[in-house]
Structure 1
Amino acid sequence: MSERVVAITGGHGVLGKAVVAAALAQGLKVAVIDHASGHAVPEGVLEVGGVDLTDPAAAKAAIETVAAHFGRLDALLNIAGGFVWQTVEGGADEWGRMYALNLTTALNASRAALPHLKAAHEGRIVNVGANGALKAAQGMGAYAASKSAVHRLTEALAEELKATSVTVNAVLPSIIDTAANRADMPDADPKKWVAPGDLAATILFLASPEARAITGALLPVTGRV
């Protein structure tokens, strides 16, 4: 059993659950931080539920709970986020929500985790950006802008931490093979999409000690789309 501890925000979602399962399979100690609470989690997983990561104080309290429970924190995996399809003409109400769900959650969790990650031998932050944020398509303005901000956060924080052993990277998935995406795109071929388990494996590699030479990377994970 590895002593390394990973905190996974948004751990109750489809991707979050895949990362939890993959982390446990690698023998890691796992904490799930999520806005939802009361979900069943595998044995040994610490659930910190009911957390509003858009609130800096709540994010700090959640991270401190994880560190106190395990006595350390080695990696933060920022998976919490959201998606909306909305044209620019359709209104601006979703722009703030997308920034809050995708950027602010990652920012607050990262700030709260930094003291613990700096104290770790090989601290890691892995964010989830989006390949669709490299060039926004119709209806993707709010989502792509918020994920582009996650990319810039990743790069800036990686530069800030180069004097430490903490690395900061992001994965940029295309379409993830989920039940919701299959329902929304019934004519598409999901075999070309990114399986949650494959994306989880990439995230955990970036969170591993073996990825110490990689920081500030925006890694496309696009399947065969």
Structure 2
Amino acid sequence: MRDKAPPKQLAFDLPLDPRYGREDFLVGPANEAAYALVEAWPDWPDTVLLLQGPRGSGKSHLASIWATRAHAWTVSASTLKDDQVTHLVSNGALVIEDVDRAADRDEAALFHLLNLARERHSPVMITAARPVDSFGLKVADLRSRLRLAPTIEILPPDDALLRAVIVKLFVDRQIVVDLAVVEAVALRIDRSLARARDVVAELDRDALGRGRRITKPLALAVLDRLGMAEAGEDADEQDEETG
């Protein structure tokens, strides 16, 4: 009589609270200039600073570090309204997140806020994933004002930073893996911290569903399913997965 396969466990996709402390931010060549400018505050080149980088690159983390240092409030560009501007600027420092992603943003309110912040010397950090000219802004004066703001860009991570982030992503989920797993992921994903986060989350879900720990063969199987594993490589190892 054949042994029954172990029951498949339910994997609950619970939200993972990100840790945005200064000690949790990993610095590398891709983000060291942005980190240095945050650390240099209040010695900034301008009242308004635009922090630009792709999704998952650490913009919100850096903005949170600066907000703690500057005692700044944080708001989303999509929720900013004109009747909030005076109150927001009165705090003395402000982070405005995802200006480029807010299709329904109130451009008049944003322009009013930047003018008032400059008038009162209130520092403002704005985060975006794309250059100003791709925001699709309709208010020409706002576009001009943002073009003039100093922009600091977070670049794609180098290999060392990518591997360090993958390790941190597993640690954040309280998962211990061999370095071979980290290497397998790092070699097959594109150089993107957002992609690393997505893949680690998928590995966690898959391992929970199978009731197994994350091994290199399991990682290769998941990466292959996601279209990221190199054809034929370590195929024999995938067949040996027993949990």
The two structures have a TM-score, normalised by structure 1, of 0.31
Q: Decide which structure has greater strand share.
A: 1
Higher RCO structure, 1 or 2 (CA under 8 Å, sep 6+): 2
Structure label with greater radius of gyration = 2
Q: Decide which structure has greater helix share.
A: 2
